[in-house]
Amino acid sequence: MRIKVNREKCTGCRLCLQICAIEHFKEINPKKAALRIEAKFPDPGKYRPFVCTQCGKCAEVCPENAISRVASSAYIVDQDKCTNCGVCIPACPVGVVFQHPDHDFVIICNFCMLCTELCNTGAIVKWEKAASLEAKEA
């Protein structure tokens, strides 16, 4: 399962950012979300979501091995091991690893998919690769 972005459908409502922080931190705070919305106005006049692709680059560069995953589950941060050094942040190709002054660990997406359930326009949706493709890539 992946999160697919249909960027031309994003309207910038930021509901995805809100539900992400509510789910993971029980707070209303878009700056604690694990995805981001880029706004480009007045030209071309569009929004674009950036979401985690589970590429694993953050885990690769982490000097503390604080980011890992079990089998094909999502990558997660071990908050005890993480030193908040931030090396993973520029390593993320889509820029969705975050730090926040309230916490001493980085924030990454755990693929709970709630953002896709709340997105009303289809800008971010759940997407399953065909089983044959998955097998091919394995």
Partner 1 sequence: MANGLAGKTMRINLSTGAIRSFPTDEELYRRWHGGRGITAKILYDEVPRDAAPLGPKNIFIINSGIMSGCFIPAGSKVEFGSVSPLTNGPGDSNMGGHLGPTLKFAGYDMIIFEDVSPKPVYLFIDNETVELRDASGYWGLKSLDCEKKLKEDLGEDFEIATIGPAGENGVLFSCITHDFGRQAGRTGQGAVMGSKKLKAIAVRGNKSIHVNDLAALRKQVTEIMLRTQKHPNMIPWQKYGTAFFIQWSNANACIPAYNFQTTYYEDIDKIDGDQLVEKCLISHKACFGCWMNCGKYTKAVIPGKPEVHLEGPEYETGSLCGSNLGMKDINHVAYINWLLDNLGMDSMSGGGVIAFAMECFQRGLITEADLEGQTLKWGSVDDVEHFLDMVAHRRGIGDWFAGGTKRAAAKIGRGSEKFAMQVKGQEFSGYDGRWAPGMLLSYMTADIGAHHNRSWTITVDMAEGRERVEGRAKIVVYLQHIRPLFDTWCICRLFWGELDITPEEIVESLNHITGWGVSVQEVLRTSEMIWNLNRCHYIERNRNIGRTFDYPPARSWEDKIPSGPGQGKGLSLAQIDQMLDEYYAARGWDTSGNPTRALLEDLGLGYAADRLEKSGFLGKPIPGGIPPVRGEKYKPKAF
Can you give the binding site for partner 1, defined by CB under 8 A? 8, 11-15, 18-19, 21-22, 25-32, 38-39, 41-47, 100-102, 118, 120-121
Neighbours of 5 (CB within 10 A): 20
Nearest distance in Å: CB 96, partner 1: 14
Cα–Cα distance measured from residue 21 to residue 32, given in angstroms and rounded to the nearest whole number: 5
Cα–Cα distance measured from residue 135 to residue 49, given in angstroms and rounded to the nearest whole number: 28
Select 2 or 103, whichever has its Cβ closest to partner 1: 103
Select 39 or 85, whichever has its Cβ closest to partner 1: 39
Select 73 or 120, whichever has its Cβ closest to partner 1: 120
Neighbours of 134 (CB within 10 A): 11
Among 85, 97, 92, residue whose Cα is nearest residue 33: 97
